[in-house]
A = this chain, B = another copy of it.
Amino acid sequence: MIEFSTHPERYRHWRLEIDGPVARLAMDVQEDGGLDSGYTLKLNSYDLGVDIELYDAVQRLRFEHPEVGAVVITSDKDRVFCAGANIGMLAQSSHAQKVNFCKFTNETRNAIEDASRHSRQTYLCAIEGTAAGGGYELALATEYIVLVDDGSSSVSLPEIPLLAVLPGTGGLTRVVDKRRVRRDHADFFCTLSEGIKGRRALEWKLVDEIVPRSRLEQTVRERANELAARSDRPAGAEGIELGPLRCTLTDDSITYRHVRVALERQSGCARINVSAPDPAPPRDVQAVHAMGADFWPLAMARELDDAVLHLRLNEPELGTWVLTTSGAAEAVAAVDAALADNADDWLVREITLYLKRVFKRLDVTSRSIIALIEPGSCFAGTLLELVLAADRSYMLDGTLEGDNRPPATLRPGRMNFGPLSMGNDLARIETRFLGEAGKVEAVRAVIGTDLDAQAAHELGLVTFIPDDIDWEDEVRIAIEERASFSPDALTGMEANLRFAGPETMETKIFGRLSAWQNWIFQRPNAVGGDGALTRFGTGRPARFDRKRV
């Protein structure tokens, strides 16, 4: 089982140092520290374990270090920046492992960009030696790349010539869409196994600055200080500690404090319940800081994040996730008010941005998501996003016999109209009602109102509202039917239907780039017996079927 929790004191592959407003995150991958046996992590090449530490560092920098305004990513190895994803690891991975590995690394790179843009903790990158493949893609996720101009330090995306796969961790997209490298330059660059150095790297916009080796440290420090100086993060504030998550795993359940998951292997379904805070947490910002990682939205986000990652990697046969909630809408409304009223506070901003990232993980998760809205549920504000993120939703109209709780309601809140936007930069409700601003406004007009099934259906917030007679059958059939379809076809369908409307660099990475990479990850030219990924390092050249598809 793969675990996602770690701590800087336990890092094997990264060194995190804080020096006032600038952090230094240095890669020094331990060769024999791979998650699996069968490959050696030479030349700062990485596997999922290395990236889990990177993800942890990026998270902690945001929450534990408000004073840090700039983060330098670099290497502690001599003349090597990073050789990218480990090829032996890729070659021995199953298709699903490759796809999941790429998804997680992509999410981490997106989180780095999110930190630069929205947390004002700007990442930059200092490259001495080779930054190849995923190594250069890591650099691409930062906002400023400094390359040593020594006749040998270089950046490269050698995946296509060497491995017959794509630079799929955002590489192709970021080169043309973020750095705006001309497509013909990008074409040449991406077919060049040895990469590009010095002046041409600068002229083609592959890096932002080149410096002699002797000036690297000083230059990067200067740039980092400049970027940190422009940050609005509070130099004097105290961070909050992200303590260990408490989680109990059994064969058929995962239990956190606010998130509980029931694993129903028979029906191929995971039931994820999120409970509202009880009692309602305090609303003033000092109390929020005092609660720190115990403050409900942060605690809940961490638990849900961990559950999503766990289920994705360790429970691939649970193809349907059924989302439910429980608790008091008032309590969530109070939390949302605290978040919205204190949006300028650095910690509140971080919490909201983290919630946004966790819900985004749902959007790109290859599982069918069904939301069930029943008496006792609590789909208010932030938690209403779970309904909007679901592929479809069922809301009981009325109550079930023998249940004396009041009928379920939905309560829209301010958090549903912007702060938790999807990868396409639209709120989920805007994507839902694409091109129908009137329908979005109709929901905005009932912010704070408890909507019964009829009203929620009328407003277009839920898919079906069976009554007590139909409820059980209709829900059961929906879940059973889903389990009867091809998992792959569902993945493809969901990846298309969830992203109506505009595309962004982020959605292009998951939609266009990842879909092509997944295709290539199955092609004999890459992964067959004679394929380039299989033959790499064996001394035997790959043999390709020359037919274009």
Contact = CB atoms under 8 A, between A and B. Distances in A.
Contacts of A516: 491-492, 495-496, 515
Contact of A485 (B160, B180, B434): B160
A96 interface: yes
Contacts of A503: 502-503, 508, 512
Nearest to A514: B515
A383 interface: no
B548 A463 contact: no
Nearest to A392: B184
B525 A180 contact: no
A526 to B, nearest CB: 7
Interface residues of A, number: 90
A460 to B, nearest CB: 6
Interface in A407-440: 431-436
A219 interface: no
A492 B463 contact: no
Interface in A421-471: 431-436, 460, 462-463
A390 B317 contact: no
A335 B203 CA distance: 37
A376 interface: no
A513 interface: yes
Contact of A492 (B166, B391, B460): B166
A187 B391 contact: yes
A230 interface: no
A268 B523 contact: no
A500 interface: yes
A486 B191 CA distance: 11
B160 A486 contact: yes
A105 B194 CA distance: 40
A495 B512 contact: yes
A487 B518 contact: no
A95 interface: yes
A497 B392 contact: no
B488 A187 contact: no
A458 to B, nearest CB: 12
Interface string A181-210: 011111110110000000000000000000
A235 B151 CA distance: 69
Contacts of A486: 160, 164, 523, 525-526, 532, 542, 544
Interface of A: 95-96, 99-100, 159-161, 163-166, 172-173, 175-177, 180, 182-188, 190-191, 268, 316-319, 366-367, 390-393, 431-436, 460, 462-463, 481-483, 485-503, 508, 511-513, 515-520, 522-523, 525-526, 532, 542, 544-549
22 contacts: A95-B549, A160-B489, A164-B485, A166-B489, A172-B497, A177-B500, A180-B434, A184-B393, A187-B392, A188-B463, A191-B493, A486-B526, A487-B546, A488-B520, A488-B526, A491-B549, A492-B520, A495-B512, A515-B515, A515-B516, A515-B518, A519-B519
